[in-house]
Amino acid sequence: MSRTSGETRALRSARALLALLAPALLASCGGSEADDGPPGAWWAGRGAAVREVLEQLARLEGTPLARRARQLALELPECGSVGFHAPNGSAAQLAGGARCLDAGDPLEQARRRADRDLVFALPSAGGGALRGTLRVEATALQVDLRWQGAPTDGALGLFVPGEAPAGPDRLASAGRLLHLRVRPRAGLDLASLIPAGSQADRLFRLRSGIFASAVLDGTWEGAAYLPERAGGMPGVALALGFSLRSAAVAAAERFVADLQETWPVRTSELRLAAGDGACLPDLNVLPDLAPCYVATADALVVGWNPASLERALAGAMIAVPDAAGRLDVDFALIQRADDLLARHFAGSERPLSWPWSRLTASGGADGDDLVLRFTLVAAPRSAS
């Protein structure tokens, strides 16, 4: 695979992932107040609010989601309140067949009790449920979600926050396309995600001490940054908080030594104002990949390449309310990254025009439930 095709595929994959992110959140929208209603899967909303959400989704031009949103808008009955109930709990049925709701309908009563523009409930595996609300504001959509029985095992568990705050950001905010910081409810035992004897275990010895929960403090943070040039890869960095710096540095050094025993790679020292570390400049298996790490005062920070680390550690962080988990997606910057890709590669897909400028989310555990809040800020409409 050529470098150009590799970069194109990687950036298109990143855009596709982000294109699915916001709709997935909306699909799971509901909220902590929608704690009653009929059994099974259901939703209820003000007709005008439902049309507004569908209209925003329809602005994702050229995507299957936009086509489906337009179709649903055509099928939506003209009435003040609309909804649908699938007593068997089938989520697949909720995308069509909406009917008008009168004041005495249980779905409309549930919506009015929640005092939101849209409410919904969806049964989940193990007897839990996903419930929530959506409020349509002048410049944003606000989604509150309560997930009873959210999974905490395996890779998905890394994204499920607990009750303790995750602490302040460790990665710079300037030019961030996407940022996520989490203190997982089940802890941060990365070694448990790598099956003993697997290919990853054999090639990289990922069950080494750097991944042991005894070394780490239970928090992790990831960020992707705007490419610095047309056709360039986004900068990517990952920060793992540690509880004891000397043990974390020793584990990182041992990990690099293990890697050198497996692959014929050399190391080079890296010294930044935030701390010292090392790079593997010969590990060129993906575009621009020359992974580096630096040990700061309280985190091991790994970057896609030296430039990624320098960007992640050289700037100021945004002061935000602390939470066990928080997410920030800058759709305006993502569109700029798409423009860079389109200008560099002939025949690239037309950049996606997002209906939102930003997505922010925060949340944590409330007893056994996962409670999250999402805010989608509307993008300015272009003059026609």
Distance CA(184)–CA(370), nearest Å, equals 11
Same domain, 150 and 188: no
Quick check: 361 pLDDT over 90?
yes
Measured at the CA of 14, the angle between CA 12 and CA 20, to 5 degrees, comes to 100
* Domain ranges, residue 84: 3-154+342-378
Residue 330 counted as domain residue: no
Measured CA to CA, the distance from residue 141 to residue 208 in angstroms comes to: 44
CA angle 27, 152, 225 (to 5 degrees): 65
Are 84 and 209 part of one and the same domain? Answer: no
Same domain, 137 and 19: yes
**Of 264, 295, 314, the domain-final residue:** 314
Residue 296 forms part of a structural domain: yes
Residues 127, 148: Cα–Cα separation, whole Å = 8
Tokens describing residue 347: 């025949």
CB burial string 11-20: b at 16+ within 10 A, e below: beebbeebbe
Looking at the structure of the chain, the number of domains it has is 2
pLDDT at 34 over 80: no
Over residues 56-76, mean pLDDT: 93
**How many other C-beta atoms can be found within 10 angstroms of the C-beta atom of residue 90?**
12
User: Does residue 203 belong to any structural domain of this protein?
Assistant: yes
Same domain for 82 and 191, yes or no, is no
192 lies in the same domain as 101 = no
Give the separation between CA 128 and CA 121, rounded to whole angstroms: 11
**340 compared with 383, residue with greater pLDDT:** 340
* In-domain check, residue 75: yes
Vertex 116: Cα angle to 149 and 91 (nearest 5):
45
Residues 111 and 182 in one domain: no
User: Are 309 and 176 in the same domain?
Assistant: yes
Return the minimum-mean-pLDDT range out of 6-10, 317-321, 323-327, 357-361: 6-10
327 within domain boundaries:
no
* pLDDT exceeds cutoff 70 at 346: no
pLDDT tens digit sequence for 147-156: 988 878 777 8
Domain annotation covers residue 334: no
pLDDT in tens, 169-184: 999 999 999 999 999 9
Is 142 a domain residue?
yes
pTM across the whole model: 0.83
Mean model confidence pLDDT for the chain: 83
Same domain, 308 and 373: no
Contact in structure between 100 and 82 (CB atoms under 8 Å): yes
Q: Assess whether 170 and 220 both reside in one domain.
A: yes
User: Tell me, what's the pLDDT at 8?
Assistant: 44
Q: What would the pLDDT profile of 76-122 be if each residue is shown by its tens digit?
A: 999 999 999 998 877 777 777 899 999 999 999 999 999 999 999 99
Same domain, 68 and 102: yes
Give CA separation, 180 vs 170, 191, 213, 362, in Å.
11, 21, 20, 10
User: Does residue 90 share a domain with residue 206?
Assistant: no
Are 84 and 216 in the same domain? no
Point out the domain boundary residue: 314, 331, 361: 314
Query: Do the domain assignments include residue 236?
Result: yes
Q: In this structure, are residues 166 and 183 in contact, taking their beta carbons and an 8 Å threshold?
A: yes
Q: Residue 109 carries which side chain, given as an amino acid letter?
A: Q
